[in-house]
Structure 1
Amino acid sequence: MAGITLNQYIQSVQRMFRSGQGEGLARLLSLKDEHTSKNLVSNDTAALIETNFAEFVSYMNCSTPLDEIVAYHLACVKALISNKYSEAFANQTSCVAAVVRLLQAQKEENWSLPLLYTVCRDLRLVAQKVEANTPQSNGKILEKAAESLLICFRVCAADNRTAEDDTKRHGMLPLVNQLLKVYFRINKLHLCKPLIRAIESSPLKNMYSLAQQITYKFFNGKKAMFDSDYTSANHYLSFAFEKCHQDCIKNKRLILIYLIPVKMLLGYMPKKSLLEKYDLMLFWDLVTSVKSGSVKGIDKVMEEHESFLIKAGIFLVVEKLKTIAHRNLFRRVYLLENTHQIEIASFEAALQIMGEEDVDEAETQCYVASLIYEGKIKGYISYQHKKLVVSKQNAFPPLNSL
């Protein structure tokens, strides 16, 4: 597309549209395409900024609603060149609405779904630019973007032809993924539930591209983690990590940031080599602390890496590893004493040796009672004798069996 003119660009768009080439049309109307940064823009930036796109597209005899789609797209490009992000967002919102009208007009066709996905993705990215340059918006722009994305999702979901190759329901998961990205960014995870339910009940859920499935499983896993459903979180995040291409180091590392603490809560400790490969050695310090039963060691890691853990949203999840550390410590005491009746004082002494110097008998009993309640210890506390009486079989069940 070197040296492309505005006329040539619109003619290319028209050719793709007339021949029903959804992927090609989506590329030409993407804000990530080279025409927005290298060719069309650099060819004559001044002329592009001065052009009235609605009139120019009309002059080029574009059919409706393609004329609106192209005009709004070029107007968005123009606004981005001038760093007018709010104006760009308004034009991209209108572009999405025009694409929806196109899709609705195609009663038994879905070849324009790649275009719908592309303009929706661009809408989210432009909304993020507006948010980044308008701190006082507090997510309001992204909420508006989500409203447009939700309209697109409903149009696709409303197609009752679930079995046919040309059903618009094939566009549901890419749109859900865009919505999940928005809802996680503005911290409105409760809005994810109906979207997830819609995908889980869809007969097409395993027919989407692997990339879309990985994205969906990743966000589903994160939500399950925040809901304290660690078994489901492990299932979804493991799928995302295992299916993610081995060369996508950045993405695999991102998945591991959530998968590792989830697995640790379930009793699976990561290998040091894995953490070294993905530059996540802070988790190795957690592993050694959890294995040894050192809550003080966990506190040290959390203090040193506080900003990272908070930004990732796993600070509270990592804090729950203290319970696993106590469980491991108490199990060591149980193995050392080799009896099913252990003095509470023995647990108290162990906690103090591991650095919890201010702990007393009452607090120790609370730790033990909590572990019994959670099923991590099978037994009961004899308050009269100040002892923990554990089951003679499987007193400390494996964490992955709970």
Structure 2
Amino acid sequence: MTDYYELLGVSRDASTEDIRRAYRKKARELHPDYAGPESEDAFKSVSMAYEVLSDPEKRQRYDLGGGPGMGNGSAGYGGFQGGGFGFQDIFETMFSNMGGFGGGTGAPQYGRPGQDTLVAVEVSLRDVVFGATKEILVDSAMTCTTCSGSGAAPGTTPVTCVECSGTGSVTRVQNTLLGQMRVATACPRCQGQGQTIPTPCSECHGEGRVQASRSVTVEIPAGVENGTRIRLRGDGQAGTRGAPSGDLYVEVREVPDPMFARRGNDLNTSITVPMTTAALGTRFTLQTLDGDQQVDIHPGTQPGEVITIKGLGVKRLRSNSRGDLHIHVEVEVPRKLDAESKSLLEQLAALRGEARVEPVSSRSGGFFDKFRGKR
């Protein structure tokens, strides 16, 4: 049985990293592209050795006397087939930055995908509360209608590139530190697309797209937050020559409302009432986003009190419920009084025993009692 450790030139206690480095060195020396076809068997052998010794489980079985096939019913190089792993996979990984060996760069990409586009849409508080449908104007690349995105003039079609035979890549021989290498690069004639256009479209000049303005419909969901970006797949810039379009991102910008301020899912507004109205109470009509609402000012309402109306706020995104509307009450105290008004207030003050002003701190349980002892 071949000694895999000896084949790679490492000791039996070599680390996985030591084995990897040894294999890379051996593989470069023995690869048929460098050493010639006669080195293929030796290359397969070191590849098999690496496949076994780089896997801890297989290495343990090998050290205990497992054969070259490692129990998969085959010997030697055939052991790669059972695990779906071969020397070509290793080299594609090792030399991916060098362009590979002799093969192409994969299927050609006809055209370049379009880029994503970002636009902003202004919405009102009403739009945010109830949701809305907006039409926005987008200025970006769109598919050419003359050639339907192919880039070829009407009545003509793209043809297979004669230089790369449609693969999109060509193979060159380059001199490197490791010797001569066959490197696959994008075809210079078709720029890696595998096709050329003998008669380009006169409208888009072979691009398959043109710059234009178009209208796009976007749904603004109820409860959306300011600054949210809504993604519209495929509504961004068109790709060249029929390649997929990018996405359109619509950023929501909420315009401040003159009457209501939003805090999360709640709405806030303020009203100012005369001190007599606050004392006596009243009912008034408040214009809300849901229409007119009757609001009661209870007798004795104090400055800064908040009246809450349930369910008149902003819709919650993941439920059908809504926040609340908070009405902040400000009490207006007159700065100037005529003689009659002053006389009436003095009579009221006397009637209520409010003619004298006493320091708050002299009253038990007053305002300053809350702060006593908190030093």
The two structures have a TM-score, normalised by structure 2, of 0.24
Return the index of the structure with the highest Cα Rg.
2
Which protein is richer in helix relative to its size? Answer: 1
Higher RCO by CA contacts (8 Å cutoff, separation 6 or greater): 2
